């Protein structure tokens, strides 16, 4: 099968450690060009990109979208390629949930736009990041479009897995599933050095502690604050000794999450509201201004509601990242406590991990790991973060735990 020389570079350059997926996708692109020897069935109108967080689902989907639109199959240089990768291509609609869910209203609008003929490119492409955040009715609106696809439209969905909790069985059955794997440490280090200009030593360190998450590795390599946050959260297990520590550490973690959400919203929220008011012509005095002002109050409220939902999402994402760091730590403690010969998630913290292994043992570490996972689940199920985090810290501190 010819998949083209472009596979090694062009838009695929940032799709890290996914050779098999790239081969399948370039074959699909080749099919749209009618290459001899490539079956037409190599291409289909609906794809589901799955893989662990950070494996590059949306990066792969975006590269595929560019390769489909590009006359040269994803050269990475032309207007099609560049605008798709920047998210500004007229015939590629990207749905990125900023709140907790993707609403039916949003999905219907996207589906309707996607049924038009492409304006400048070869296809109309709808790219849905985090398809696991579709509400049930939004999923139904999408399902209708995927079942009776308009002739030029391609749907690209991204989700953690094909589990029914992530993607409904009916949508899944209409899609070709492309499963991405966790990229290797050397593959991540290579892309950090090549694309982001990170020095090789830092690139290798960041890749080794990223748990295979490319975006996380990049943040750790380039952002001192991210390194500091990681160090702070991974110091928690050793710092928890008393009930006082439980409340102090919980408060600090929750406050850090709030602060990060605030700093991301700062300026942006106010600018959006200003822009909306200008767009609605608020402040005018002419005929009809009173009616416009009444309408704009509703629109501003709607925007404020979305901003609040976005802030909640950010706060939870920050908390979740901290909890993932903690789960990696206790997983390492279990590995050392049972003497398993597998690489640690945090190879740079081997001394701390060993100290914890002798303090807690495998059973105590497992109890703590369970508590971290339960906390993530509780927050996902809308338990108030303060309650979930304090309950977690109590277990981590070993309060009420039988002495070893």
Stretch that binds Zn ion, among 68-76, 139-147, 157-165, 387-395 (CB under 5 A): 68-76
75 binds Zn ion (CB under 5 A): yes
Name the residue among 150, 118, 9 with its Cα closest to residue 67: 9
Nearer to Zn ion among residue 25 and residue 70 (C-beta): 70
Task: Compute the least distance from the CB of residue 12 to Zn ion, in Å.
Answer: 12
CA distances from 261 to 255, 258, 274, 311, 318 (A): 10, 5, 20, 6, 8
Nearer to Zn ion among residue 16 and residue 29 (C-beta): 29
Comparing every residue's Cβ against Zn ion, the nearest one is 70
Task: Compute the least distance from the CB of residue 120 to Zn ion, in Å.
Answer: 13
Other CB atoms within a 10 A radius of the CB of residue 89 amount to 25
Stretch that binds Zn ion, among 65-73, 301-309, 316-324, 350-358 (CB under 5 A): 65-73
13 binds Zn ion (CB under 5 A): no
Helix H or strand E encompassing 176: strand 176-179
Distance CA 212, CA 109 (A): 35
CA distances from 384 to 245, 286, 380, 400 (A): 20, 48, 10, 23
Task: Compute the least distance from the CB of residue 154 to Zn ion, in Å.
Answer: 16
Task: Compute the least distance from the CB of residue 70 to Zn ion, in Å.
Answer: 3
293 binds Zn ion (CB under 5 A): no
Which listed residue (38, 60, 70, 326) binds Zn ion by CB under 5 A?
Answer: 70
Stretch that binds Zn ion, among 48-56, 80-88, 124-132, 352-360 (CB under 5 A): 80-88
Task: Compute the least distance from the CB of residue 95 to Zn ion, in Å.
Answer: 23
Nearer to Zn ion among residue 75 and residue 265 (C-beta): 75
Stretch that binds Zn ion, among 14-22, 62-70, 98-106, 305-313 (CB under 5 A): 62-70
Nearer to Zn ion among residue 72 and residue 245 (C-beta): 72
Any idea which residue has 């110091």 for tokens?
235
Task: Compute the least distance from the CB of residue 81 to Zn ion, in Å.
Answer: 3
Stretch that binds Zn ion, among 81-89, 101-109, 287-295, 321-329 (CB under 5 A): 81-89
CB 334 within 8 Å of CB 366: yes
84 binds Zn ion (CB under 5 A): no
Contacts with 318 (C-beta within 8 Å, 6 or more apart), sequence order = 256, 257, 260, 261
Which listed residue (43, 81, 233, 240) binds Zn ion by CB under 5 A?
Answer: 81
78 binds Zn ion (CB under 5 A): yes
CB 6 within 8 Å of CB 75: yes
What phi, psi does 379 have (nearest 5°)?
Answer: -65, -40
Radius of gyration of the chain (CA): 24
Distance CA 37, CA 34 (A): 9
Nearer to Zn ion among residue 75 and residue 374 (C-beta): 75
Nearer to Zn ion among residue 81 and residue 95 (C-beta): 81
Any idea which residue has 């030593």 for tokens?
201
Distance CA 66, CA 49 (A): 15
**How close are the terminal C-alpha atoms of the chain, in Å?**
61
Contact set for Zn ion, span 160-189 (CB under 5 A): none
Distance CA 302, CA 288 (A): 22
Q: Which residues bind Zn ion (CB under 5 A)?
A: 70, 72, 75, 78, 81
């Amino acid at each position: 099968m010819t998949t083209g020389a472009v596979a090694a570079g062009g838009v695929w350059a940032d799709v890290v450690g996914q050779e098999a997926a790239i081969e399948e996708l370039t074959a699909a692109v080749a099919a749209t060009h009618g290459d001899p020897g490539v079956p037409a069935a190599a291409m289909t109108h609906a794809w589901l990109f799955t893989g662990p967080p950070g494996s590059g689902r949306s990066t792969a989907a975006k590269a595929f979208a560019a390769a489909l639109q590009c006359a040269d199959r994803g050269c990475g240089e032309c207007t099609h390629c560049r605008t798709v990768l920047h998210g500004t291509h007229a015939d590629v609609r990207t749905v990125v949930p900023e709140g907790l869910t993707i609403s039916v209203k949003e999905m219907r609008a996207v589906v309707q736009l996607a049924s038009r003929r492409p304006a400048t490119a070869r296809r109309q492409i709808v790219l849905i990041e985090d398809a696991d955040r579709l509400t049930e009715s939004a999923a139904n609106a999408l399902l209708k479009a995927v079942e009776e696809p308009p002739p030029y439209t391609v749907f690209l969905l991204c989700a953690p897995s094909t589990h029914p909790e992530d993607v409904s069985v009916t949508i899944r059955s209409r899609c070709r599933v492309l499963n991405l794997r966790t990229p290797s440490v050397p593959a991540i280090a290579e892309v950090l050095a090549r694309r982001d200009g990170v020095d090789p030593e830092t690139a290798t360190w960041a890749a080794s502690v990223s748990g295979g998450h490319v975006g996380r590795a990049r943040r750790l390599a380039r952002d001192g604050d991210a390194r500091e946050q990681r160090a702070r959260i991974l110091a928690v297990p050793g710092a928890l000794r008393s009930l006082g520590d439980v409340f102090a550490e919980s408060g600090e973690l929750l406050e850090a999450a709030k602060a990060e959400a605030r700093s991301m919203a700062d300026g942006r929220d106010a600018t959006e509201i200003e822009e909306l008011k200008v767009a609605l012509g608020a402040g005018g005095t002419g005929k009809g201004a009173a009616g416009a002002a009444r309408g704009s109050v509703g629109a501003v409220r709607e925007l404020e509601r979305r901003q609040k939902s976005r802030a909640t999402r950010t706060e939870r994402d920050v908390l979740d990242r901290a909890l993932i760091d903690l789960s990696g730590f206790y997983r390492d403690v279990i590995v050392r406590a049972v003497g398993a010969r597998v690489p640690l998630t945090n190879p740079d913290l081997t001394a701390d991990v060993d100290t914890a292994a002798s303090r807690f043992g495998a059973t105590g570490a497992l109890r703590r790991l369970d508590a971290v996972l339960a906390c993530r689940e509780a927050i996902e199920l809308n338990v108030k973060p303060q309650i979930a985090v304090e309950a977690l810290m109590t277990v981590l501190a070993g309060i009420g735990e039988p002495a070893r």
